[in-house]
Amino acid sequence: MKQQNIFHDAGIRETPIRKAILSIFETSKTPLSAQDIESHTKLATLHPDTVTIYRTLETFCDAGIIRRIELQEGKFRYELEQEHHHHIVCLSCGKIQDIHDCIDEQTQRRIKKETGFTIQRHSLEFFGICADCRTA
Ligand SMILES: [Zn+2]
Ligand SMILES: [Zn+2]
């Protein structure tokens, strides 16, 4: 995806800091916290303050460029808004991996029936010990 198009499509102005932060997300394989962004080398020459980083993340969320996720760490993480997926987190080393499996139609129907809710979205995260940690 071209960066100009992303900003243009989202209806937000392109700035050097926004460009740098977007490119950090584009090259990251795991969801990032605000602290990860702040200490990233790509921002070294721009050195935005913490407030600017938080504001940029908020702008990106509102624009649908990234989404916020919560992995029970006491902080939020963010990742590019892309196809629907979930995460599994290693409780030992903190590694985060994407999961492309999801709850099936049948389960959703059961939940609807049980609660009387119509379901708009869900969040589903898994926690365990990764293969590397298990063999260590
Ligand atoms: Zn691990
Ligand atoms: Zn899902």
> DSSP letters along the chain, please?
--HHHHHHHHT----HHHHHHHHHHHH-SS-B-HHHHHT-GGGTTT---HHHHHHHHHHHHHTTSEEEEE-SSSSEEEEE--S--EEEEETTT--EEEE-----HHHHHHHHHHH-PPP-----EEEE--HHHHH-
- For the chain, domains (ranges, CATH) are 3-80 (1.10.10.10), 86-135 (3.30.1490.190)
For position 83, what pLDDT does the model report?
87
Q: Give the tens place of pLDDT for each residue, 34-77.
A: 999 999 999 999 989 999 999 999 999 999 999 999 998 999 99
Confidence bin at 2 (pLDDT 50/70/90): low
For position 121, what pLDDT does the model report?
87
Would the CA dihedral through 37, 55, 48, 11 be positive or negative? positive
**Residue 1 above 60 pLDDT?**
no
Distance CA 114, CA 108 (A): 10
Nearest listed ligand to the Cα of residue 89 = 1
50 Cα to the center of ligand 2, angstroms: 32
Percent of the chain with pLDDT over 90: 81
129 Cα to the center of ligand 1, angstroms: 6
84 Cα to the center of ligand 2, angstroms: 6
Nearest listed ligand to the Cα of residue 102 = 2
Residue 55, phi then psi, degrees to nearest 5: -65, -40
Would the CA dihedral through 77, 83, 85, 89 be positive or negative? negative
Would the pTM of this model clear 0.75, i.e. be above it? yes
**Residue 96 above 70 pLDDT?**
yes
Distance CA 45, CA 14 (A): 17
85 Cα to the center of ligand 1, angstroms: 20
